[in-house]
Chain A
């Protein structure tokens, strides 16, 4: 009787010991968060070209800045609430008079651009909740020199929007 009862107690103690071992913390876990923004591609559309034609006359070789209303206008689609920075890729652009060569009388150089509209003057803009910017304005100043003659000068520049 004694042996039997004692034996049961030993078994109880052994199982209790085994049961306690896993309950004492030797490890811990915690959930942690992961996140990432996958952006919609920015799509730029030209609404109106930057045109200085008819508004600019040579003034003794000085620079002439376009009227704000004559700037080129772009629209863009992208990710809502994301910031972008607009810029002109080229540091300067040369406009060539139709039918003329590249002699000094047939080219006009645009050596600075101005950003406005939905962008501030540094080019920073934020896509609204609609994900659409429709008034990205780019102005320019041209440098006409004495040899330039009347005519239509044309060229192209590259407007770039980069997620900020």
Chain B
């Protein structure tokens, strides 16, 4: 008798788990695709400059994503700033990137962007720009780096 009662209690709490978890947490997984890298206009070595790529520029980073239909999301770049390098080491071989800006289907809210998945669970043309800071002692070369784009359901 006690074993039957025990089993019923287990089933009861298991049912609670199954009912509770989806209500609280369930949302379809987000899948992000990078369609275009973030590029900056070429600059001349030896001349300090801030090179800005705006979200509306042709060389801004472009993404699309799939997720749960009609859900709001926040887009951001995890790192406040990152460095690109030309394969060398030291500060004269690195260029700092920061001041991320958001556009396209994202509404820039200062440091991040907001949008929502459409009725098909798709969001396209999310665009990110930034500013590259070239120092006077930066060496010529092709600089590359990475940053992390994050999407979070609101």
Contacts and interface: CB of A to CB of B under 8 A. Distances in A.
Interface in B125-141: 128, 130, 132, 134, 138-141
B16 A34 contact: no
A35 B150 CA distance: 20
A35 B30 contact: no
B84 A20 contact: no
Contacts of B20: 17
A6 B140 contact: no
Interface string B15-54: 0110011001111111111100111111111100001000
B147 A34 contact: yes
A32 B44 contact: no
Interface stretch (A37-45, A68-76, A94-102, A118-126): A37-45
B152 to A, nearest CB: 4
A25 to B, nearest CB: 4
B99 interface: no
Interface in A1-50: 1-2, 5-6, 9-10, 13, 16-17, 20-21, 24-41
A34 B146 contact: yes
A163 interface: yes
B106 to A, nearest CB: 14
A36 B143 contact: yes
Contacts of A13: 13-14, 16-17
Given A2-B6, A17-B20, A28 B151 contact: yes
A32 to B, nearest CB: 5
Contacts of A29: 32, 78, 148-151
A interface: dominant SS:
mixed
Contact of A36 (B40, B139, B151): B40
B27 A24 contact: yes
Contacts of A66: none
A79 interface: yes
B91 to A, nearest CB: 14
Contacts of A37: 42-43, 141-143
Contacts of A1: 2
Contact of B25 (A20, A36, A41, A163): A20
Interface string B79-97: 0001010100000000101
B70 interface: no
Contacts of B142: 35-38
Interface of B: 2, 5-6, 9-10, 13-14, 16-17, 20-21, 24-34, 37-46, 51, 61, 63, 65, 67, 78, 82, 84, 86, 95, 97, 128, 130, 132, 134, 138-153
17 contacts: A2-B5, A25-B28, A28-B151, A30-B34, A31-B147, A31-B148, A34-B38, A34-B40, A35-B38, A35-B39, A35-B145, A36-B42, A38-B43, A39-B42, A40-B45, A41-B45, A79-B140
